[in-house]
Amino acid sequence: MKTALLSVSNKEGIVDFAKQLSDRGFRILSSGGTQRELAASGVEVLAVSDLTGFPECFDGRVKTLHPAVHAGILAKRELPEHMKKLAQLGIDTIDLVAVNLYPFKEAISGNGATLEEAIENIDIGGPAMLRSAAKNYGDVIALVDPSDYTGVIKELDAGGPSRAFRLKLAAKVFRHVAHYDSIIASHLSGLCGESLTEKINITIEKVQDLRYGENPHQRAALYRYPLSYPLGGYVQIQGKELSFNNLTDAGAAMELLREFTSNTALITLKHTNPCGVGLADTTLEAWKKAYGCDRVSVFGGIVATNGTVDSELAGELKNVFLEVIMAPVFTSRALEILSTKKNIRILKIDPVFKCNEYDFKSIPGGMVVQGRDNAMLGEGLRIVTAKKPDEREMEDMLFAWKVVKHVKSNAIVLARQGQTLGIGPGQTSRIWALENAIRQSNYDLKGAVMASDGFFPFQDCVEAAAKAGIGAIIQPGGSIKDEDSIEAADRLGLSLVFTGMRHFKH
C-alpha cells in the first residue's frame, strides 16, 4: 500500500484530495490541524505520532522532524540496500507528500506583527519534508500547491505520474521553499537595519503574462514583491489590459508624482521621461501647464495627478490620445466621459505609495544595486554668484530640481511659476540637452530658471541660458571648472545655485 503524507496550513481542497487518494489505495498520514479536519470529514487517517512513536511537542514545533518520516521519503526504491534498510528499521515508504507552509508572509503583512509572532510563523518541518520529497522526486510526488491536486489525480488514473511530471512538481517545490525562505531573510534583515548585504535574495511572484515586452518579439510577464499591495501603488478600474510599456511608464510617473506632496501636481510622461509638469490650485490648471510644455510628445503617453480628475479635466483629456490616466480620485462623471475612449487605462493611485527601497539594474552576468535616489536637499545648497535669486526664482529652481531628478541624463529642465517650460532629456552632451529644451519650449523664457542634473564642464551652458533669457540656474557643482561657470554667470547677470548633489538617471 502506498502512503500519502498530508500536512497543510491551507486546507483548500485537502479533504476531497485525501478521499480521492484513499479511493486509489493510498494510506493517509497526517498531523495537527490537517489530521483533525480529515478525521472530522470521515477520512481514515493515521497520525504521524503513531507512525513515529514520538509525540508532537513544544507547542507543535516538532511534529514531523523524525527519521521514520524522512527515511520513508528519501529512500531510493531502485536501490536494494535502501529498501533492505527500511525493512530492518520497520519503516514504510512515503510516496506522496502534500505540504504548504505556515503563512509567514500573511503574518507580517499587517502593521502590528511582533518579531515573536513572525518567528512562530516560520515553518521548519514543512520545508524539510518538501525538500526531501522533491529531492527524491523519482519516487515521491511532491506537492506544495493545492491547484495541482486535480492534475495529480489525473496522472495517477493514467498510470503515472510520469517522471517529467514529478520533476515539474519538484522544481515548483524548490522555487516555493526558496521564495518562502527569502521572505523570512528579507524581513529579519530589515528588522536588523541591514542593507546591501553580502547576499540579496530577490523574491517576486508572478501576477500575469503580458502580451509582449517593450517590443512584440519579446516575451514578458508582470511580477510583484510579496508584500507590495497594491502593485505599483495603483489599482486599474477601467480600460484595456496594461502593457509592459504602460507598466514601466506608470512606475516612473508614480516616482515623480511622489515629489509633490503639498501641491496639486499633474505630469505628462512618455517613455519614462516627463513631457511636462504643472503645479496649480486645480488639476485643470495643472493640466494646462503640463500640456502647454509639450503638446506633441505626450501623444500616446501617460497623465498622472495627485488631485481629482473631474468632468472638466476628463473633457480635456479625452481629446488627447493617451494610454493611461492616473489619479487618486475620479468623479463618476469623469469616468463616464473617459469610458467613451475604450483603450484608455484608468488607474486609481495612492500618491504617497512607498516605492521599492532598492533599484536593481540588470547587466550581463549580474546586477548593480543601489538605494533609491531619495536624498533631500540640505545644507549643501549654496548661492555662488554675486546676484542672489529672489524668492520666486528659488521656488522655481527647487521645483525644476525635483523634476530634473526624474529625467534621463544628461537632463535639463526649464521652469517658471510652477510650470515646466522645456525639458531636454537623454543627451550625451549637456549643451545639447539645453539646446533641445530651449528649442522645444513654446514660451518666452525671460525670467525662467534652469535645472541641470549634473555639473557644467564648460561655461557654454551658462552662456546659452543667458542668451535665452533665463535668470537663474540650479546645478550640482563639483566640476574642476566651476569657477568658469561662476565667472560667466556673474558677467551675464545670472544667479547660480549649487546643490552639492547630483541626480544622474540612466
Catalytically annotated residues: 135, 271
Residues 6 or more apart in contact with residue 170 via CB below 8 angstroms: 133, 134, 135, 137, 142
Q: How far apart are CA 378 and CA 501, in angstroms?
A: 9
Cell of 498: 549649487
Burial class (CB in 10 A: 0-12, 13-18, 19+), 358: middle
Residue 313, amino acid: L
Beta pairing, strands 412-415 & 420-424: antiparallel
The Cβ of residue 282 has, within 10 Å, a number of other Cβ atoms equal to: 15
Residues 6 or more apart in contact with residue 147 via CB below 8 angstroms: none
**What DSSP string describes 468-481?**
HT--EEEE----TT
Q: How far apart are CA 163 and CA 59, in angstroms?
A: 38
* Short-list 135, 108, 125, CA closest to 9: 125
To which residue does cell 490650485 refer? Answer: 281
Cβ(248)–Cβ(215) below 8 Å: no
Q: How far apart are CA 396 and CA 406, in angstroms?
A: 16
The separation between CA 317 and the C-alpha centre of its own chain, rounded to angstroms, equals 28
Cα–Cα separations (whole angstroms), residue 456 to 272, 313, 441, 494, 504: 24, 39, 21, 15, 13
Cβ(356)–Cβ(372) below 8 Å: yes
Residue 290, amino acid: A
- Helical (H) or strand (E) element with 182: helix 163-192
Cell of 319: 481629446
The set of long-range contacts for 282-287, using a CB threshold of 8 Å and a minimum separation of 24, is 282/307, 283/307, 283/308, 283/309, 283/310, 283/313, 283/327, 284/310, 284/312, 284/313, 284/316, 287/313, 287/316, 287/317
- Helical (H) or strand (E) element with 17: helix 14-23
